[in-house]
Amino acid sequence: MSEPTADIYTALAAEWPVNETHTLPANMGTDLTYITGEQAITRLNTVLGFNEWTFEIREHGIHNGIAWVLGRFEIPSQGVVREQFGAQKLRSTPSGDEMKSAATDCLKKCAMSVGVGLYLSHKETIAEAQAARQQARQENVQRQAPVTALPRPISQPPACADCKQAITPTGRFTVESIVNTGVSKYGRALCLACGKKAQEEARLTEQEVREDLKQAEMQAAG
């Protein structure tokens, strides 16, 4: 599997002006910054040329309330081939747009694998680390405070989108980092327990898809 040449990668990975990115407000902590599918497509067209890259949905389906797609992205002139999964949780009343959202998620992941918007993911990691350090400093100040000190007012913690329970800090994970991780990976704020469940569902979905593809290839070969 090849990689884009250095000059092409640099152009693909260039940062957007701050006023051209979008923000998903977080209930607590650092907001999630992202680009749209249209922006990813425009960047690919501008740098590579509209007819110099391809993207196709190879498989799709619905599993455990999640619409998923398996997409294939290619830059023939560079010998680049990428395959990624995209997913979108079904709404309580499915609108039919979930599969489209899963396809957009897949395309953006493929584009990110060649640098498009990758810096935003890096910033999220830095933001989580900064939030963790800030939380540690606050906890250290609280431990050193006199016993008679009045407690600080606590705002209402965010609720998990799945179980509806309040998201609370656990071990080294702050509320901010838990919320940001759920939003960036699954498109919604999840507590640790529901986040692990969503991760397992995504893993099982990917495993089943690959097993189905393998079985189909074996049948075709037979």
Please give the pLDDT value at position 193. Answer: 86
Please give the pLDDT value at position 199. Answer: 82
208 vs 51: which has the higher pLDDT: 51
Residue 160 · residue 167 · CB < 8 Å: yes
Whether 202 has a pLDDT exceeding 60, the answer reads: yes
At 46-83, the pLDDT tens digits run 999 999 999 999 999 998 889 999 999 999 999 999 99
Please give the pLDDT value at position 154. Answer: 46
Residue 198 · residue 190 · CB < 8 Å: yes
100-127: average pLDDT: 83
Q: Which of 84, 88, 83 lies closest to 63 in space, CA to CA?
A: 88
- pTM tops 0.85, yes or no: no
Residue 73 · residue 53 · CB < 8 Å: yes
Distance (Å) of CA 147 to CA 49, 142, 144, 153, 204: 65, 9, 9, 16, 49
Distance (Å) of CA 219 to CA 83, 212, 214, 215: 22, 10, 9, 6
- State the chain's maximal CA–CA distance in angstroms: 78
Tokens 């092409």: give the residue: 8
Q: What is the mean pLDDT of the chain?
A: 80
At 124-171, the pLDDT tens digits run 554 554 555 566 666 666 666 555 554 554 456 788 888 888 888 888
- Contact partners, residue 190, CB within 8 Å, separation at least 6: 160, 161, 162, 167, 178, 182, 198
Residue 113: how many other CB atoms lie within 10 Å: 15
Please give the pLDDT value at position 168. Answer: 85
Whether 22 has a pLDDT exceeding 60, the answer reads: yes
159 vs 45: which has the higher pLDDT: 45
Domains and CATH numbers, the chain: 6-119 (3.30.390.80)
DSSP state of 77: G
Rounded Cα–Cα distance for residues 167 and 183 (Å): 13
Burial 97-106 (b: 16+ CB within 10 A, else e): ebbebbbbbb
